[in-house]
């Protein structure tokens, strides 16, 4: 017997008021990406509206006592974009420029990413609009704990599992895990991932995103006949993602010739001594001032002579204004959302291959999934096991995306969205509408 839903189509609908703005920011970028995938969704397209509005959007006030005796208020968010395939999953970002639009977009990219590598999670993201570098350690801890408590109503090991992102780390995950656990009266290691090893963290998690970037880079290079040994690489962001990717590429014989971060840009035609550069960054907090390199103007970074460009910092770095001067043959998006749709078109016209964030940086959440499984089973795996499983998942996922892109003659971004959105909307359709 046929079900009324079998014949249902999407009705024209009005967006929720908070989504009706002229400048939607990163969320607007995400919506354009969804528009590009819609023609490839077949019958599932009638569910596409699901992807265009986050399921739950929580905005919280985070008041804390400052060291000087005043009370400061910060704006915090947790957005669950989609939970059709499993609990929400995605990081928490502390940054002075965090906005609701950004957190919504990041949560949506998590939905696509988790589906693209086929881990059983939906997509979520959180953030606090704060410059954490201006807080003392005590203030940072109080802010993290109050934020965790405020979003405690929607997170949990089976509901939504935060993790590190920009400016958050293992210590912050430890405080989040502790706050959630204290509030509910028992230790719940599985409520966050990216924890310290002694608190249920996973071997390999810290390096996982960079390792994933490296893995898909090597796979793509193989497809286009590019040698990694001797390839020249430019990296924006030398943190947990860019730093690890730079180290692995250098280890494979590539030359990291340019690096940029909030402190400035450096260049060395023969390639940096990457371990020495990372030691400098650990000490100085920036690539600037590294002794064995020349300084370079920030804008020049984009036109540097290189084979591979790795944006591994923040969103909207590659735009219509610099996409035309990029010399790389391949861009690997370590960051989330670094390329605007206009820049995507320019890069495609110029035959520059873009490995999109939603597959290229999925290594982090893949090992987060391993961590979550280990926490549930209380059985911990070896680092070799973890890395081998990570590489297998990344290679398989990238191979599937590559095939879709060849078959449908679309960019790797649209191909990843086709794979991800199809999985999400298929789950959505099978679950059906309630009531």
Q: Which residues contact ligand GLU by CB under 6 A?
A: 89-91, 163, 165, 193, 336, 361, 364-365, 368
- Given the complex with ligand GLU, which of 125 and 247 has the nearer CB atom? 125
Q: How far is the CB of 239 from ligand GLU (least distance, A)?
A: 12
Q: How far is the CB of 172 from ligand GLU (least distance, A)?
A: 12
Nearer to ligand GLU by C-beta: 193 or 260? 193
Closest approach of ligand GLU to the CB of residue 207, in Å: 13
Beta bridge partners of 318: 339
Q: 10 Cβ partners below 8 Å, 6+ apart?
A: 45, 46, 47, 48, 49
Shortest spacing between CB 432 and ligand GLU, in angstroms: 28
- Are residues 173 and 192 in contact, defined by beta-carbon separation less than 8 angstroms? yes
Nearest to 121 by CA among 420, 346, 393, 396: 420
Report the residue number, 88 or 271, with the smaller CB distance to ligand GLU.
Answer: 88
Separation of alpha carbons 329 and 336, rounded Å: 20
Alpha-carbon distance of 89 to 326, in angstroms, equals 33
d(C-alpha 280, C-alpha 397), whole Å:
35
Q: By the 8 A CB rule, do 83 and 107 touch?
A: no
Q: Out of 89, 113, 125, 247, which one is annotated catalytic?
A: 125
- What letter does residue 8 receive in the DSSP assignment? -
Minimum distance between the CB of residue 90 and ligand GLU, rounded to whole angstroms?
Answer: 5
Question: CB–CB of 368/194 below 8 Å?
Answer: yes
At 229, phi and psi to the nearest 5? -65, 125
52 is catalytic: no
The CA-atom distances, in angstroms, between 104 and each of 91, 134, 265 are 12, 25, 30
Q: Whose CA is closest to 36, among 112, 123, 138? A: 112
Q: Count CA atoms within 13 Å of residue 125 on its CB side.
A: 28
Which residues lie across from 57 on neighbouring strands?
79
CA distance linking residue 210 with residue 277, whole number of Å: 16
SS3 376: helix
Complex with ligand GLU: residue 169 or 319, whichever CB lies closer: 169
Contact 349, 166 (CB under 8 A): no
* Run of H or E residues at 104: helix 100-116
For residue 282, the minimal CB distance to ligand GLU (Å) is 21
Q: Closest distance between ligand GLU and the C-beta of residue 106, in Å?
A: 7
| Minimum CB distance to ligand GLU smaller for 84 or for 336 | 336
CB of 381 to ligand GLU, least distance (A): 17
Which runs of consecutive H residues, i.e. helices, occur in 185-297? 205-224, 242-251, 274-284
In whole angstroms, how large is the CA radius of gyration of the chain?
A: 21
Contact 154, 160 (CB under 8 A): yes
- Give backbone dihedrals phi and psi of 251, rounded to 5 degrees, phi first: -65, -30
Q: Write out the catalytic residue numbers.
A: 125
């Amino acid at each position: 017997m046929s079900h009324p839903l079998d014949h249902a189509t999407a009705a024209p609908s009005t967006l929720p008021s908070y989504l009706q703005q002229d400048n939607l920011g990163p969320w607007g970028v995400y919506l354009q990406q969804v528009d590009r995938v819609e023609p490839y969704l077949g019958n599932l397209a009638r569910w596409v509206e699901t992807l265009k509005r986050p399921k739950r959007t929580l905005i919280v006030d985070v008041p804390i006592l400052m060291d000087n005796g005043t009370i400061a208020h910060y704006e915090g968010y947790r957005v669950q974009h989609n939970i059709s395939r499993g609990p929400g999953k995605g990081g928490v970002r502390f940054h002075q420029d965090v906005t609701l639009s950004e957190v919504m977009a990041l949560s949506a990219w998590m939905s696509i990413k988790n589906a693209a590598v086929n881990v059983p999670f939906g997509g979520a993201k959180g953030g606090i609009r704060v410059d954490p570098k201006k807080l003392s350690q005590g203030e940072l801890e109080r802010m993290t704990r109050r934020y965790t408590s405020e979003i405690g109503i929607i997170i949990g090991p089976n509901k939504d599992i935060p993790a590190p992102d920009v400016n958050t780390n293992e210590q912050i995950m430890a405080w989040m895990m502790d706050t959630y656990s204290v509030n509910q009266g028992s230790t719940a290691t599985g409520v966050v991932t990216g924890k310290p090893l002694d608190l249920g963290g996973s071997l390999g998690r810290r390096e996982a995103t960079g390792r994933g970037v490296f893995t898909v880079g090597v796979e793509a290079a193989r497809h286009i006949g590019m040698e990694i040994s001797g390839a020249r690489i430019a990296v924006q962001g030398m943190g947990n993602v860019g730093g690890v990717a730079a180290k692995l590429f250098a280890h494979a014989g590539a030359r990291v010739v340019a690096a940029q971060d909030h402190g400035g840009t450096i260049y060395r035609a023969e390639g940096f001594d990457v371990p020495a550069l990372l030691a400098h960054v650990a000490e100085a907090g920036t690539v600037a001032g590294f002794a064995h390199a020349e300084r370079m103007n920030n804008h020049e970074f984009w036109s540097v002579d290189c084979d591979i460009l790795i944006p591994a910092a923040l969103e909207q770095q590659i735009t219509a204004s610099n996409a035309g001067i990029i010399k790389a043959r391949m861009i690997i998006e370590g960051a989330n959302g670094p390329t605007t749709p206009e820049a995507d078109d320019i890069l495609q016209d110029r035959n520059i291959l873009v490995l999109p964030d939603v597959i290229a940086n999925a290594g982090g959440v893949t090992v987060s999934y391993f961590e979550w499984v280990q926490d549930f089973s209380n059985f911990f795996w070896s680092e070799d096991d973890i890395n081998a499983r990570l590489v297998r998942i990344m290679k398989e996922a990238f191979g599937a995306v590559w095939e879709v892109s060849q078959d449908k003659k679309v960019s790797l971004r649209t191909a990843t969205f086709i794979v991800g959105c199809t999985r999400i909307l298929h789950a959505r359709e099978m679950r059906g509408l309630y009531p």
